[in-house]
Amino acid sequence: MIKGTFAVALLLASNIAFAQSGGAGAITSATSDIEEYVEPVSNLVQMIGAVVGIVGGVRIYNKWNNGDQDVNKELIGWGGACIFLLLVPTVIQAFFGI
């Protein structure tokens, strides 16, 4: 009876060990897949930031020429957004260790 219980426990333990090794391989594969996407996504964010920056710059230029009173507030918001979009890819690359 004890030998039978021990044999069943040993079989179950070996199945758990096999299942864990497959999971580690999947995690390693997922990590490498994510690392492959970080650089293209970072470049995409910088391109979107460039387009948004140009549009925002034109908008601020028009407000400035029209004599709008809240140009300073718009300029600070636009500058902060540009700095944020330039720093995000760097932070993402540092976070993933690339």
HEC string of the chain?
A: CHHHHHHHHHHHHHHHHHHHHHHHHHHHHHHHHHHHHHHHHHHHHHHHHHHHHHHHHHHHHHHHHHCCCCHHHHHHHHHHHHHHHHHHHHHHHHHHCC
* pLDDT exceeds cutoff 60 at 59: yes
| Exposure on the CB side of residue 82, measured as CA atoms within 13 A | 14
The domain of 23 spans 2-96
Query: Has this prediction a pTM greater than 0.85?
Result: no
CB 74 within 8 A of CB 63: yes
- What's the rounded mean pLDDT across residues 39-57? 85
What is the tally of structural domains in the chain? 1
Give the pLDDT confidence score for residue 13 in this predicted structure.
64
Q: Give 19's pLDDT tier (boundaries 50, 70, 90).
A: low
